[in-house]
Structure 1
Amino acid sequence: MLHETAVTLDKPVDLAEYNWQAHSVLVVDDEEGMRHFLERTLARRCGMVQAVADAEHAAALMARLHFDLLILDIALPGKSGIEWLHELREHGYTGDVILVTAFADMETAIDALRGGASDFILKPFRVDQILNSIKRCFERARLARENFVLKRELAGLAADPIGLVGHSPAIEQLRGLIRRVGQMPSTVLLLGESGTGKEVVARALHHTSPRAQRPFVPVNCAAIASELIESELFGHIKGAFTGASESRNGLFYYAHGGTLFLDEISELPLAMQTRLLRVLEERKVRPVGSERELQVDVRIIAASNRDLAAEVLAGRFRQDLYYRLAVVDIAMPPLRRRAEDIPDLMRHFMQQLAVELGVAPLPLSHEVVSRLQAYPWPGNVRELRNFVERSMILGSFATEAFAVTTASAPPPAGELELTLAELERRHIERVTEACAGNKSEAARRLGVSRKTLERKFAEWAESVRQQEDEGRRARLQGLERRA
């Protein structure tokens, strides 16, 4: 009987970055002490560990359960570990196998590796030896999965690098623009409401460009604190500011040779707009705290849900940067102008979400589609996706869900005279009221960010103040005229 003294104990291996709980291991060894040792060692780390004494019992377990990794002794009673390994490979088992043995020569090792063993370890071994070998197997499996997923994504891109859903005239026109503009090196500015798919179009422009094999790096300018945006984009050196304990490259560096997508660019502070303009003109970045400039080759695609021309007039956006970005500007069509795409979009989202949620797609009825096509969708495609996800979770396109997201009853006569902006405001206020004033929940249901919702309310409050000021001025002028 083998005791733990036969295994050299060493300092523990730091493998916290690996998700061992996602993996299952089968130990096959006729020595009871070794089986118990490996079972106890791995049970604390892996999602499932089973241990048996021979290939026959192991085969019975594998007929019922999936194992990502086998730890297999060579000298087993009956069928040897190498013989069984050859059989496993012949029958299509693709998982990793680590062979262990107390007696081996060069010929045995070669036979093991030819049979498809992932590693070959001699007993007695150290704890860190077996753990590092397992780590390598798990990492190899992870890379294989990621490679498989990436190949499928690339195959999909090869078939349709644009990847837009729908066949409305607005989408067909957008596809044509992407095919033409994607091939050009020029800077592109995407303008449109929140949730219209600006990042989808930015990726399509990248994938149809000569830079398609290089990085696509998206960054949401609104999601980064103003004091950190320069470091995030340009990088910094160690000690450049409090907390900069080490040097770090910026996103321009990582996008070198590819495309940098600056979403919500209207949220950049004015000082940062000046620095960005300089980078666009000189194609050089200077990390924070550094005296050295780095040459960068990056195509810029920017996006905003605000009217940047109006932001320029208001003094919130640099005019020269606006003209530098808007070499080619593309207006994103809102969902209400491509309502005929709603059935295609819903099927697309349901196929995606069926995998993510583990539920079946819902049947689409003519009544449901008609009601959705009559709705103005202030949150656009993002709001539609959120609605589909919520419906799939609930198991149906429920009436109560429509009560929050659609106006099923005919609108009051007065509402027929409202402008689209006024109708949007009323809908947002109703949804926020239905969420008991919880703006985070209202933003989620509308398919917009909380920051966008806050800005809407701030703009309306400012509009009210301006109207009140104009009213006061008019009353004062009236009093002066009377006097």
Structure 2
Amino acid sequence: MDKIYIGNTNGKGYSMIENTVLIVDDEEIILESLTQYLSERGFNVIGVESLSAARKVLLEKSIDLVLLDIKLPDGIGLELLNDVAKMEEKPIVIVMTAYGTVDTAVSAMKKGVYDFIQKPFRTKDIELIIRLALDTKKLDKELKLLVKTQAEKFGITSIIGQSKKIEEIFKIIKKVASSGANSVLILGESGTGKELIAKALHYESKRAIWPFVAINCSAIPSNLLESELYGHEKGAFTDAKERKIGLFEKAHKGTLFLDEIGDMSYDLQTKLLRTLEERKIRRIGGTSDISIDIQLIAATNQDLGRLVEEGKFRKDLYYRLKVIEINVPPLRERKEDIIPLAKYFMHQYNKKLGKHFVGIEKPAEEALLNYSYPGNVRELKNIIEKILILEDDEYIKLEYLPQEVKQEDSKRSGEIESVENVYEIGLENYIKKKEMQFILDALKKCNGNKSEAAKLLKIDRSTLRYKIKLYEIE
């Protein structure tokens, strides 16, 4: 029967780090000494002498780190790496052996081994390596949690919508993110959420653990934009008092988002094209090239095809960027998303402002649906924010909406009602109904004076009298 060595955390002056270490070695003296030494320094320790015993422990216990000897009585220690690879929560593995070779070490590293130590070794050296390894594991866990949190915040789930057009964009994002595409062009009106799409592309991809760097090309003068993107060396120009790292370098292995690329100068477009083709940059005033690995996402609210025809945008850059093209529809073309978006913003500002709105009244919903939103999603967000700042209520009401929204709603409602009535009662009856309404309105405005009403309607008084009799107007 395999002997199992147990060492509990009863460290003398050492902080309790609550990590469990499994030692797999058939040398009794090493098992005993390491178990005692590590347990005295705050570790939970389990020591076993064979491969089979190690497998049993891995199945039954939660292990953070394995100290693994290569030569064991019932097999080669490296075989345990196959068991580790199948585990959901994988422990860190450090291999220790007196029979180490370069080939063995390389093979072990390729299978995911953290470090390779040759016997004999000092116990304090082992402790240092273990602590470094566990710190690495902790940082890795924190990074994965951060990436998961960022993906939830900025991934596909951050884009609110249920329309067919948005569903299609979701599909494109998933395909592009998994493909590792290096260039994407996003087109859409201002306020449609192009940066949200760019962030989703980044955080749904393997680049999510690396930076997402964004810049608005229209917000920075052309002469400064080049320095922002490429950086500069000290003394490259009058105000270059220090070396500056550009956004291309900052975005290395991640994503660089160039918003409003249609406003970039022609000369800088030429430099950008070369960067995309060579995957290298050179800081302003620099003498050597720097390799970069980025995903470049560009966006614009302009018609780049027209800019190409006008000679304002490079044709070759345009086609280099539009390998993958995503067209974001304006809000007026995806009506199904308006109310879900409005409710989402309402809940967001409830939390931010401490308000208690629970819904939107039907007339307000209809008005929001009828509005054309020249400012797109950004305008809808601003409308909801303003209401929640100014009003204290449970429901968003029609009267709380901006005047332009109510006016457009009234106009469109009238148009819709007119069309529906024509279809329902027929054109002839509809015309009669409207004519009677106009006559009644004119008589009301003229206080029943038929002569004045006829002038207002631009008809003869006799015609008006005939119509009054026809429609039995009192």
What's the TM-score once normalised by structure 1's chain length? 0.52
1:265 Cα offset (Å): 0.4
Work out whether 1:154 is the aligned partner of 2:145: no
Q: Where does residue 308 of structure 1 map in the other structure? A: 304
Q: Match of 1:170?
A: 165
State the secondary structure of the residue aligned to 1:243.
coil
Aligned AA for 1:157?
Answer: A
Q: Are the counterparts in 2 of residues 402 and 408 from structure 1 also a CA contact under 8 Å?
A: no
Picking from 342, 356, 362, the partner of 1:346 is 342
Residue 366 (structure 1) shift: 1.5
> Distance in 2 between the 1:249 and 1:364 partners?
49
Output one character per residue of 1:399-454: Cα deviation in whole Å (capped at 9) or x when no partner: 364214452464499x99xxxxxxxxxxxxxxxxxxxxxxxxxxxxxxxxxxxxxx
264-273 or 209-218: which moved more? Answer: 209-218
Task: Quote the residue 2:200 is aligned against.
Answer: 204
SS state of the match for residue 343, structure 1? helix
Are 2:258 and 1:262 aligned? yes
Aligned to 2:363: 367
Q: What is the distance in 2 between the residues matched to 1:226 and 1:218? A: 16
Deviation (angstroms), 1:346: 1.4
Give the paired residue count.
271
SS state at 2:389 partner = helix
Matches within 5 A, 1:237-248: 237-248=233-244
3-state SS of 2:213 partner: strand
Specify whether residues 159 and 398 from structure 1 end up closer, same or farther in structure 2 by C-alpha distance, changes over 3 A only.
Answer: closer
Q: Equivalent of 1:216, from 203, 212, 215? A: 212
Partner of 1:108: none
Q: Is the 8 A contact 2:186 2:326 kept in 1?
A: yes
Measured after TM superposition, the shift of residue 359 of structure 1 is: 2.9
Letter in 2 for 1:197: G
Deviation, structure 1 residue 185: 2.6
Q: Which one of 175, 181, 186 corresponds to residue 176 of structure 2? A: 181
What's the secondary structure of 1:257's corresponding residue?
coil
For the structure 1 residues 293 and 385, does the alpha-carbon distance in structure 2 shift closer, same or farther, using more than 3 Å as the test? same
Which SS does the other structure have where 1:312 is aligned? helix
Work out the CA distance in 2 between the residues paired with 1:364 and 1:412: 20
What one-letter code is carried by the residue in structure 1 that aligns with 2:402? F
What is the CA–CA distance in structure 1 between the aligned matches of 2:231 and 2:210, rounded to whole Å? 20
- The one-letter code of the counterpart of 2:176 is V
- Residue 231 to residue 152, structure 1, CA distance change in 2 (3 Å): closer
Cα distance change, pair 406–379 in 1 and its aligned pair in 2 (3 A): farther
CA distance in 2, matches of 1:406, 1:378: 15
Q: Distance in 2 between matches of 1:407 and 1:320?
A: 46
Say which of 267, 292, 295 aligns to 2:291.
295
Instruction: Find the counterpart in structure 2 of residue 407 from structure 1.
Output: 407
User: Which shows bigger deviation, 300-309 or 236-245?
Assistant: 236-245
In the TM superposition, residue 210 of structure 1 has moved relative to its aligned partner by 1.6
Partner of 1:379: 375
**Partner letter of residue 335 of structure 2?**
A
Aligned residues of 2:246 and 2:283 also touching (Cα < 8 A): yes
Residue in 1 that maps onto 2:280: 284
CA–CA separation in structure 2 for the residues paired with 1:257 and 1:412? 50
Are the counterparts in 1 of residues 217 and 261 from structure 2 also a CA contact under 8 Å?
yes
| 8 Å CA contact retained: 2:364, 2:401 | no
- The alpha carbon displacement at 1:183 in A equals 1.5
Q: CA deviation at 1:380?
A: 0.6
* Alignment CA distance shift 1:156-1:206 (3 Å): closer
How far 1:148 sits from its partner (Å)? 10
Task: Output the CA distance in 1 between the equivalents of 2:214 and 2:193.
Answer: 13
Contact (CA 8 Å) 2:345, 2:384: kept in 1 or not?
A: yes
Q: Deviations over 1:250-305 (max 9, x none)?
A: 00001000111111000101111011001001111111111121110011011000
Q: Once the two structures are superposed, what CA deviation does each residue of 1:171-229 show, in whole Å capped at 9, x if it has no partner?
A: 11111111111112321100010111101011111112121111111111111111100
Q: State the partner residue of 1:4.
A: none
Shift in alpha-carbon separation, 1:257–1:149, aligned structure 2, 3 A = closer
Question: Retained in 1: the 8 A contact 2:364–2:398?
Answer: no
User: Aligned equivalents of 1:331 and 1:383: distance in 2?
Assistant: 19
CA distance in 2, matches of 1:349, 1:150: 29
CA distance in 2, matches of 1:356, 1:210: 32
**Partner of 2:207: helix, strand, or coil?**
coil
Counterparts in 2 of 1:362 and 1:407: CA distance versus 1, 3 Å: farther
Residues 405 and 158 of structure 1: is their aligned pair in 2 closer, same or farther, counting only changes over 3 Å? closer
Aligned to 1:230: 226
**SS of 1:359's equivalent?**
coil
Mind listing any 5+ residue stretches in structure 1 that lack a counterpart? Answer: 1-113, 115-146, 417-483
**Would you say the 8 A contact 1:170–1:338 is kept in 2?**
yes
Residues 190 and 198, structure 1, Cα contact 8 Å, conserved in 2 = yes
Identical-pair percentage? 44
Q: Given that residues 258 and 299 in structure 1 are in contact (C-alpha distance below 8 angstroms), is that contact kept between their aligned partners in structure 2?
A: yes
Contact 1:391–1:398 (Cα < 8 Å) also in 2: no
Contact 1:217 1:259 in 2 (8 A): yes
Correspondence for 1:193 among 189, 195, 202: 189
3-state SS of 1:154 partner:
helix
What is aligned with 1:123?
A: none
**Alignment CA distance shift 1:409-1:359 (3 Å):** closer
Superimposed CA distance per residue, residues 102-155 of structure 1 (whole angstroms, 9 cap, x where no aligned partner): xxxxxxxxxxxx9xxxxxxxxxxxxxxxxxxxxxxxxxxxxxxxx999958834
